[in-house]
């Protein structure tokens, strides 16, 4: 069996960890069914060196995973298991994640480059909370009785959609795994999951915990591999009833197209963003500065809801910029396992190059680098926290998602003007408003075209609160009660309590 072994020795955790990295199909670790399958090099972004070779899955493996998932759906899962029992398993999984929090956070930091502190303080506890939250829902999912007339009993059933394909990205590998699994398992669906080929480790470790928690074989299957092969096989599969995707808008389009061309499976998409963060003159300045920095530099800017466009009102602009630059310069960049580190490396060479291209493009477009704008250090994929001033709305760095520690700042005068600028985007995932005026806060929140508006805070997420995008930022909502709809088929049952009524004559 293919395993990845690593000895951790840092302030947060010391110990040897073994992760099964083979394909996880029907509760077993297997080799690819395709003899031509190769391996994928998985790289440590802190050093640029290879960590291990990940066995690659193929279309044939997706087929086997779908068969296992269908079998489980019809026998050991779905409506064959009481909601209460499904809920108990999810809660056990939450407890196991908490038990192994140091291991999971260490693996996440090693593989993705996010800091151990952030993974241990945010990603891992939020993943556990998500499993527990949906564990709570599992026995509270039910239809309604609809009193159409006294002659009829009419009710709805919320049945599981069945086999679901889930394709997740590399920016929050464990947390996205949890966001996808939680509602699908609570509603009684089975899963074929494809983690990102850049960050497969925490999902692979979770396969052990899923087995330990007691989920029946085949309920969750994990097929690693590339998007064009495994991802494409999932989105076009005839026996997958729903696909949930988080990643780029470009791939989101392909997923929808391939769903349409195959069996019209249900699609939810959580795509890119270009969050507008608006700071009014009457904001609590120090708090706004810190939230604005958190809004863009959290997770090294690799956050779909990042506050990557800052709009600052003219009366506070100079003071804000002075403090914001001071904070940006204080962001510690370096080893993700360093206790003081706030920002680790970007996830890959490709992402590093992509971000640096945008930085060069911003300079060429005439935007002014107020701080940063260069590589940090000599090895790994580190980029200085970067702030661009003097930007105009036509610039590429203002319109396109950079997905790195790069923020653009523009000055505005009126509320009307800033609402128009904020909404001038193909995206509509998240926005922020900073003001102490309660009327203005709500007025602007209502006017913004975005799935989330943060007032006097930024990047705050919670399992109970739905998350998703307007416009090209996606389709559907994850988290909260709303996410259950993505995994439920609603069936209406009409029961007539009388004999025949209608125009057909009696015999
Ligand atoms: P991506 O969309 O290519 O990758 C996301 C996932 O989709 C991965 O698991 C990948 O293997 C899979 N995938 C790729 N091509 C596929 C296909 N044809 N069919 C099915 N699945 C496929 O993202 P990326 O190339 O790693 O990053 C590029 C940009 O995407 C980033 O710079 C950022 O702008 C955006 N992004 C957004 C998010 C988000 O949270 N919304 C996450 C990651 C990346
Ligand atoms: Mn990696």
pLDDT tens profile 65-86: 999 999 999 999 999 999 999 9
**Span 227-241, pLDDT tens digits:** 999 999 999 999 999
Around ligand 1, the residues with Cβ closer than 6 Å are 167-171, 194, 196-197, 226-228, 231-232, 235, 246-248, 251, 254-255, 270-272, 304, 354, 401, 403
Looking at the predicted structure, is the pLDDT value of residue 484 above 90?
Answer: yes
| Residue 353 and residue 256 in one domain | no
Q: Which ligand is nearest to the CA of 308?
A: 1
Residues pairing with 17 in the sheet: 6
| Residue 401 and residue 350 in one domain | yes
Percentage of the residues of the chain whose pLDDT score is greater than 70? 100
Q: Cα–Cα distance between 318 and 172 in angstroms, integer?
A: 35
Residues pairing with 427 in the sheet: 471
In the reported structure, the alpha carbon of residue 44 is separated from the centroid of ligand 2 by a whole-number distance in angstroms of 5
Looking at the predicted structure, is the pLDDT value of residue 26 above 90?
Answer: yes
| Residue 55 and residue 144 in one domain | yes
| Residue 205 and residue 296 in one domain | no
Q: Quick one: pLDDT at residue 79?
A: 96
> What CATH number is associated with residue 8?
3.40.605.10
| Residue 260 and residue 283 in one domain | no
Considering the domain boundaries, does residue 103 fall inside one?
yes
Considering the domain boundaries, does residue 463 fall inside one?
no
Looking at the predicted structure, is the pLDDT value of residue 263 above 90?
Answer: yes
Q: pLDDT averaged over the chain?
A: 98
Q: Quick one: pLDDT at residue 422?
A: 98
Looking at the predicted structure, is the pLDDT value of residue 314 above 90?
Answer: yes
| Residue 244 and residue 351 in one domain | no
pLDDT, mean of residues 7-30: 98
Of the pLDDT bands very low, low, confident and very high (cuts 50, 70, 90), residue 224 is very high
pLDDT, mean of residues 9-20: 98
Q: What token pair was written down for 53? A: 């070779």
Q: What token pair was written down for 416? A: 């009307």
Q: Quick one: pLDDT at residue 288?
A: 98
Q: Quick one: pLDDT at residue 382?
A: 98
Considering the domain boundaries, does residue 507 fall inside one?
no
Question: Which residue among 270, 305, 401, 478 is the active-site one?
Answer: 270
| Residue 264 and residue 291 in one domain | no
3-state secondary structure of 106: helix
**Span 274-294, pLDDT tens digits:** 999 999 999 999 999 999 999
Q: Quick one: pLDDT at residue 233?
A: 98
In the reported structure, the alpha carbon of residue 199 is separated from the centroid of ligand 2 by a whole-number distance in angstroms of 5
Considering the domain boundaries, does residue 151 fall inside one?
yes
Query: Rounded to the nearest 5 degrees, what angle is found at the Cα of 287, between the Cα atoms of 283 and 293?
Result: 110
pTM of the model: 0.98
Number of domains forming the structure of the chain? 2
Q: Quick one: pLDDT at residue 428?
A: 98
> For atom 10 of ligand 1, which residue has the closest CA?
227
**Span 81-128, pLDDT tens digits:** 999 999 999 999 999 999 999 999 999 999 999 999 999 999 999 999
pLDDT, mean of residues 445-464: 98
pLDDT, mean of residues 293-310: 98
Give the domain range for residue 126.
3-31+38-271+473-491
Q: Cα–Cα distance between 305 and 457 in angstroms, integer?
A: 13
Q: Quick one: pLDDT at residue 459?
A: 97
Q: Quick one: pLDDT at residue 232?
A: 98
Looking at the predicted structure, is the pLDDT value of residue 426 above 90?
Answer: yes
Q: Which ligand is nearest to the CA of 246?
A: 1
In the reported structure, the alpha carbon of residue 371 is separated from the centroid of ligand 2 by a whole-number distance in angstroms of 28
H runs (alpha helix) in 217-337: 232-235, 249-261, 285-297, 317-330
> What CATH number is associated with residue 338?
3.40.309.10
Q: Quick one: pLDDT at residue 1?
A: 79
| Residue 255 and residue 280 in one domain | no
Considering the domain boundaries, does residue 286 fall inside one?
yes
Q: Which residue has the tokens 């507008």?
A: 276
Considering the domain boundaries, does residue 23 fall inside one?
yes
Considering the domain boundaries, does residue 198 fall inside one?
yes
Considering the domain boundaries, does residue 205 fall inside one?
yes
Question: Which residue among 304, 305, 401, 478 is the active-site one?
Answer: 304
Q: Cα–Cα distance between 9 and 448 in angstroms, integer?
A: 46
| Residue 188 and residue 242 in one domain | yes
Is 460 considered catalytic here?
A: no
**Span 374-420, pLDDT tens digits:** 999 999 999 999 999 989 999 999 999 999 999 999 999 999 999 99
Q: Are 349 and 357 in contact (CB under 8 A)?
A: no
| Residue 175 and residue 311 in one domain | no
| Residue 143 and residue 246 in one domain | yes
| Residue 477 and residue 440 in one domain | no
């Amino acid at each position: 069996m293919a395993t990845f072994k690593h000895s951790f020795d840092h302030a947060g955790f010391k110990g040897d960890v073994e992760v099964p990295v083979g394909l996880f199909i029907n509760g077993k670790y297997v080799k690819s069914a395709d003899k031509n399958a190769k391996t994928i090099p998985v790289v440590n972004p802190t050093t640029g060196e290879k960590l291990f070779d990940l066995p690659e899955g193929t279309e044939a493996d997706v087929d086997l995973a779908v068969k296992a998932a269908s079998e489980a759906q019809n026998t050991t899962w779905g409506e064959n298991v009481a909601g209460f029992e499904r809920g108990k398993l999810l809660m056990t999984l939450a407890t196991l994640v908490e038990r192994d929090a140091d291991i999971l956070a260490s693996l996440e930091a090693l593989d993705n480059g996010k800091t151990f502190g952030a993974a241990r303080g945010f990603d891992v506890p939020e993943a556990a909370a998500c499993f527990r939250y949906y564990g709570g829902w599992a026995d509270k999912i039910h239809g309604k009785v609809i009193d159409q007339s006294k002659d009829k009993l009419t009710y709805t059933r919320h049945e599981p959609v069945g086999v679901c394909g889930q394709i997740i990205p590399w920016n929050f590998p464990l947390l996205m795994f949890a966001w996808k699994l939680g509602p699908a398992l609570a509603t009684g669906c089975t899963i074929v999951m494809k983690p990102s080929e850049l960050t497969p480790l925490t999902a692979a470790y979770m396969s052990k915990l899923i087995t330990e928690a007691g989920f029946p074989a085949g309920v969750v299957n994990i097929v690693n591999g590339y998007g064009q092969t495994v991802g494409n096989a999932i989105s076009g599969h005839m026996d997958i009833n729903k696909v949930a995707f988080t990643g780029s808008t470009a791939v989101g389009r392909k997923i929808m197209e391939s769903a349409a061309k195959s069996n019209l499976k249900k699609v939810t998409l959580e795509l890119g963003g270009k969050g507008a963060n608006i700071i009014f003159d009457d904001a609590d300045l120090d708090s706004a500065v810190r939230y604005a920095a958190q809004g863009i530099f959290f997770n090294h800017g690799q956050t779909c809801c990042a506050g990557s466009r800052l709009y600052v009102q003219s009366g506070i602009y100079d003071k804000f910029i002075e403090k914001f630059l001071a904070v940006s310069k204080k962001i510690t960049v370096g080893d993700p396992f360093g206790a003081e580190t706030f920002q680790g490396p970007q996830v890959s060479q490709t992402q590093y190059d992509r971000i640096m291209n945008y930085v060069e493009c911003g300079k060429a477009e005439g935007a002014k680098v107020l701080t940063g704008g260069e590589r940090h250090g000599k090895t790994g994929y580190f980029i200085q926290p970067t702030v661009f001033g003097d930007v105009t709305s036509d610039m590429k760095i203002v319109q396109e998602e950079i997905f790195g520690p790069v923020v653009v700042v523009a000055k505005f005068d009126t509320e009307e003007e800033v609402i128009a600028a904020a909404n001038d985007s193909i995206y509509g995932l998240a926005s922020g408003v900073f003001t102490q005026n309660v009327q203005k806060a709500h007025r602007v929140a209502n006017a913004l075209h975005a799935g989330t508006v943060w007032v006097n805070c930024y990047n705050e997420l919670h399992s109970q609160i739905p998350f998703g995008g307007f416009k090209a930022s996606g389709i559907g909502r994850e988290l909260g009660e709303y996410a259950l709809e993505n995994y439920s088929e609603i069936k209406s049952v009409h029961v007539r309590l009388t004999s025949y009524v209608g125009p057909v004559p009696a015999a």
